Structures are given as structure tokens and as C-alpha cells.
Amino acid sequence: MTNTPLLEISVESLASAIAAERGGANRIELCAYLAVGGVTPSEQLMRDTRAAVKLPIFAMIRPRDESFVYSASELAQMRSEIALAKSCGMDGIVLGILHRDNTINVEQARKLVELARPLPVTFHRAFDETPDLPTALESVISTGATRILTSGGKPNALEGASVLANLVRVANCRIKILPGGGINPTNLREVVSLSGAPEFHSGLGSTLPYGQSSSSTFESAVRQLARLLSPL
């Protein structure tokens, strides 16, 4: 029996979260300001979404956009935001921290992963900024994170599909590889086939402008993705 790949949808509003659940998503990544890659959602958005949606919700923990190098005060803010996300009933955390040379900041990331426990942690696409993905893979594994959201270091997951397949192979079930970046109904099947990953992530930003589509349009697009994944 073939396992159906999991579909994670990133959203920045309560309406989109509800639409994603109705469309057949399996998990939600909850953020604010997806146009800049997503930052930490507000307490109100976390609480409202938790009350309205039964799906697992992973909250983005990112104090600002731009680089993934954080000051001591920003790291303190991230610790507070993780505690808040846990108190709001989130099911997982999404974060990423780099050194100035764009290598993984293992020490600080590990501390945040430990703070997030027992919630699982996804290391987000800061991973794609690193200069050596196989080395970065081992670094992220050492932090205790449970999955990596990545486009294979390329502009989108389709272009990075061969790299993603290699990451899946090298990870060898030690961590999950979650392809994301530009995934939409026109390319999902190809990314699935080429990467061999067990889970896939989309915010549908390559086909629907963030915050500008109706709930029904967003729900329909999520349903297209879900149908393409089931059965495979």
C-alpha cells in the first residue's frame, strides 16, 4: 500500500487556515507576513487559529525578516515566542538560525529546540542560505530538529529536486526533508516524483498573491494539491 505524502500549507490569516483545512491540508504552518518569508504570528492569531482548526499547527518563530543572524535580545525574544506558542496550543515550531558566514548556528538552534520540547521543530529555509547543504544537513540533525524545510538551495523546489532527492537519501530517516518553495498544482507531481520526499510544503505564493485571494479560491487551490497527492 502506497503512503500518501503529507501536505503542509503556510498561511498568515485565520480565514486561510480554515480554507486550508477544508481543502484537505494535513498540517498548517502559521506565520505573519508571508510576503517576506514569514515571521512570528501574533498571540491572537495563534489562539484564534487553534480554536477554529483541528489540524496540527506549526508556528513560525522569526522575530524579523532579512537575515537569520540574531542578536542576544532577538534570541531572548525567540525564547519568549516559543513559550507563547506552546501556551497557545501550537503543535510544532518552525525556526532557523545562522552564523554570519551562513553556516548553521548549532549551539543556539539546539537551545531553542530543547526549549520547544516536547514540540517538534522544523528548521526552515535558512537552510538554503548555507554554503554546503550536506554539511548543513548534519548540523541541523545535531540540533535535534525533526525536519528541514528546503528548496534544495535553489530558487524553487522543482529546480532543486535532484538536490532534495540526495538530501532525502543522505538523511536516511534521521530527519525528514520537507520540500518547499514555489510548489503549486502545476509542478507538485514532478517534485514528488523527483525528490522522493514524504512531505511537501506550499504557501501557493507562486500562483496566488499573498493576502489577495479569496478564501474560496485558496481552498480550491489547496484541494488541487491534496488531490494530486492522493493517491500516489
Give the chain's domains with CATH numbers: 6-229 (3.20.20.380)
Looking at residue 83, its pLDDT comes to 98
Looking at residue 205, its pLDDT comes to 73
Looking at residue 181, its pLDDT comes to 95
Q: Sign of the C-alpha dihedral, residues 125, 127, 131, 134?
A: negative
**Which has the closest alpha carbon to 205: 230, 222, 226?**
222
Q: What cell numbers appear for 192 in the block?
A: 514528488
Looking at residue 56, its pLDDT comes to 98
Given the C-alpha cell 501557493, which residue does it identify? 204
Helix (H) or strand (E) holding 74: helix 72-87
**Neighbour count for residue 128 (Cβ, 10 Å):** 22
Cβ neighbors of 151 (< 8 A, separation 6 or more) are 125, 128, 157, 159, 160, 164, 179, 180, 181, 182
Low-confidence ranges of the chain (pLDDT < 70): 1-2, 206-212, 232
Looking at residue 212, its pLDDT comes to 61
Looking at residue 1, its pLDDT comes to 36
Q: What cell numbers appear for 55 in the block?
A: 489540524
Distance of CA 206 to the CA centre of its chain: 16
